Amino acid sequence: MAAAAPDVQPVKRSSSYNLLPPDMSELRVVLLGSSWSERNSVGNFIAGFDAFKDVFTFCMKLSVPLEDKTLSVINTPDLQLTTADQQTEFIKDCMRVCDPGPHVFLLVLQPEDFTEEERNRIYRILQNINDQSFDHSLMLILPPRHGDSVLTENYMNNPPIKDLIIRCRYRYLKKENIDRSELITRLGQIVKENNGEHVNYEEEPTTSGVFFSAATGSDTYKKQSSESLRVVLIGKTGSGKSSSGNTILGRNAFEAFLSQTPITKNCQKAQTEVEGRPVVVVDTPGLFDTSLSPDQVCEQLVRYISLLAPGPHVFLLVLQIGRFTPKDKETLKLLKEVFGKNAENFTIVLFTRGDELDDQSIEDYIKENCDVKKLISDCGQRFHVFNNRNKENRSQVSDLIRKIDTMVKENGGSYFTNEFLQEAEAAIQKEMKRILKEKEEIKHKEELKRKHEEKERKFTEDLCAALHRVADELNQDPNIQPLLRESAQQRLELDSVAESFKAFKKNCLMQ
């Protein structure tokens, strides 16, 4: 059921910053969590007026203008769902109202009331909609009903809240510190992080009734064994990253050519199943891609976080047989510079062009090259070989998955994560504030320009009006008319004298 919106002003922003991708006409945001009154308050905060007022047992949609686009807020009833059927009906109702699917789930949290049970309700809803729902989620922490910001910080350390923050890739805002424009800008950033895609509802949930345990940096979520294995391909241009990704996937998902010219300039994501196990693969730009600056390469590497939240299980460091260069020696060093020294504990070296070994074993190849040997040692003696020309050989993929599982077990069953995740979100927050500041500065300059132009226009109009009044008064004054005629006659006489002098001077010069 859609609520009619009154005549509200759209959110203003600088023309230099596009809030949404140009091909998007509508931003759909679903409110989940907390009590109905607090969700109503947040919905009204986003809309800019009091639209949601009552308790309701079904999803409600409100649409407001957002410049030349539409912002739709879908408010949901309380998550008091005791059976699987109730949960399914809740999800279907939500998906019907925000058809074809939401772009962002805004998780509204009252820190004083947020319990493990509330966290599990949110987990079950998001997980049963789609595995990618957490990539589209933003937490909005409400101010405590009793206390100040210091109390909020204390609540933030509660395990249920910390778990959800990790699962949402450290995307959260505190409502007491933001205004409406800032919140909408952050929603737009999440849309861009997901390339403008919305969440699709999977009619047959893959993990019905799933529950999560408390988890922090090195802990894992205790889910069913169907959790996806998350893989990141790292290496220099031409090492065979994209081809290796295609070998794992069993299809040509990543564009790959036998060339030193970089093909992958942005992180790409694809997924498959290996022996019934979901596997998600992210292909990254070349570490030493000359067409990208070092900062741009690092920025793209960082972007994998949003593609493999809450973190990858393995970095596959891709090297080519027979071509170990000084840049290859630097790959692990650069990886640790970007993600921290702990990253080497989650790294496996993947050699490509295994067919070029001929009768030589990979172990002998490693022994013959001191630099390769040291790299393998730094990575805990973990390595594997691919022949990407023989993609039909699925045993090489199965063997790799087993090696990854062994490494994950050695790491305590955890995925890679570190304080860098928080730093990445802090950088996003900083950029958002910069954008908002830029918008305000441009708006201020435009306002000053408008006021200056308005003053100039008014001055010109007043001056013209004054001159017209003087002229009218002179024309109507009988004492002035003789003087004006006399003045006009004198000007004619002076003009005649001037012309005569010019003629006389000309004749003199000709003589």
For 431-485, the DSSP string reads: HHHHHHHHHHHHHHHHHHHHHHHHHHHHHHHHHHHHHHHHHHHHHH-TTHHHHHH
Rg for the chain, CA atoms, rounded: 34
- pLDDT of 14 reads 33
One domain for residues 325 and 455: no
One domain for residues 72 and 123: yes
| Assigned domain for 483 exists | yes
13 pLDDT above the threshold of 50 = no
The residue with tokens 């989940």 is 32
pLDDT for 365-390, tens place per residue? Answer: 999 888 899 999 999 999 999 998 88
By CB atoms closer than 10 A (0-12, 13-18, 19+), residue 384 is buried
The more confident residue out of 51 and 489 is 51
The more confident residue out of 273 and 7 is 273
- pLDDT of 215 reads 32
Give the chain's mean pLDDT: 77
CB 312 within 8 A of CB 231: yes
**Mean per-residue pLDDT, 441-460:** 88
| Assigned domain for 500 exists | no
The CATH number for 118's domain is 3.40.50.300
- pLDDT of 16 reads 32
Lowest pLDDT segment from 98-102, 112-116, 279-283: 112-116
Hey, what amino acid is at 418?
Answer: N
- pLDDT of 151 reads 65
Look at the chain and count its residues.
511
Tokens of 118: 């509330």
Strands 229-234 and 172-174, by their bridges, are unpaired
243 pLDDT above the threshold of 50 = yes
Give percent of the chain with pLDDT exceeding 90.
15
One domain for residues 258 and 147: no
**Most confident range, picked from 216-220, 256-260, 459-463:** 459-463
One domain for residues 410 and 488: no
State how far the Cα of 448 lies from the Cα of 31, in Å rounded to an integer. Answer: 38
One domain for residues 237 and 369: yes
The residue with tokens 């080497």 is 344
- pLDDT of 324 reads 82
pTM recorded for the entire structure: 0.46
| Assigned domain for 392 exists | yes
Hey, what amino acid is at 328?
Answer: D
**For the chain, what is the domain count?**
3
At 81, is the pLDDT very low, low, confident or very high (cuts 50, 70, 90)?
confident
One domain for residues 292 and 398: yes
One domain for residues 61 and 141: yes
**Most confident range, picked from 161-170, 298-307, 491-500:** 161-170
**Mean per-residue pLDDT, 431-460:** 83
| Assigned domain for 93 exists | yes
| Assigned domain for 14 exists | no
Characterize 347-378 residue by residue with b for buried, 16 or more Cβ atoms within 10 angstroms of its Cβ, and e for exposed. Answer: bbbbbbbbeebeeeeeeebbeeeeebeebbee
Bridge partners (DSSP) of residue 385 are 351
At 423, is the pLDDT very low, low, confident or very high (cuts 50, 70, 90)?
low
Domain range spanning residue 468? Answer: 431-495
| Assigned domain for 217 exists | no
265 pLDDT above the threshold of 70 = no
| Assigned domain for 9 exists | no
One domain for residues 140 and 32: yes
Which DSSP state fits 395?
H
247 pLDDT above the threshold of 90 = yes
393 pLDDT above the threshold of 80 = yes
- pLDDT of 412 reads 80
Q: How many CA atoms lie within 13 A of 485 on its CB side?
A: 5
**Most confident range, picked from 5-19, 387-401, 479-493:** 387-401
Of 356, 387, 417, the last residue of a domain is: 417
Sheet of strand 229-234: strand arrangement: 268-274, 277-283, 229-234, 314-320, 347-352, 383-385
One domain for residues 391 and 452: no
SS3 for 384?
A: strand
| Assigned domain for 115 exists | yes
- pLDDT of 207 reads 36
One domain for residues 335 and 259: yes
Strands 314-320 and 277-283, by their bridges, are unpaired
- pLDDT of 470 reads 77
Lowest pLDDT segment from 47-51, 170-174, 185-189, 497-501: 497-501
pLDDT for 141-198, tens place per residue? Answer: 988 877 665 666 777 778 888 888 888 878 888 888 788 888 988 898 888 888 888 9
One domain for residues 238 and 282: yes
One domain for residues 408 and 438: no
